Amino acid sequence: MAVVGVVASILIGAVFVFSGGSKLVDREIWLRQSSDLGVVPWLARLVPWYELVVGALLLSGVARPWPAVVAVATLVVFTVFILRRLRDGDRPPCACFGARSSRPLGRGQVARNAGLIVVALLATLAT
């Protein structure tokens, strides 16, 4: 089971690094899209760095399983945020992966996050 956890940790770590890196590469687009989502500016500036740190910890295997636990919690928060926007009828672009995410919020992002949560939960098995 530990191998499954390590592979899951690498996968979810790569997703976090890609997401954070994409936001930094397309910083202005990320800041505009996050504003459209209702994210406060100071938090929007921190999110890419937070994702990079969590992703790097997952990829490196440092402090296992805690980065995976943080990834699960983060993905749950992101998913609840998306569900609230959808409930309110808000459908701005997702911005989850910087400029690569230009589709309006929808069930697809919720389903994707549910899958990522499962992978992050599997990553908690890495010891």
Task: Say what the pLDDT of residue 49 is.
Answer: 98
Distance CA(48)–CA(53), nearest Å, equals 9
Task: Say what the pLDDT of residue 127 is.
Answer: 66
Distance CA(13)–CA(54), nearest Å, equals 7
Report residues of the chain scoring pLDDT below 70. Answer: 127
Amino acid at 18: F
Residues 41-58 have pLDDT tens digits of: 999 999 999 999 999 999
Residues 85-96 have pLDDT tens digits of: 999 998 888 888
Q: 3-state DSSP call for residue 93?
A: strand
Answer yes or no: are the C-beta atoms of 71 and 123 closer than 8 Å: yes
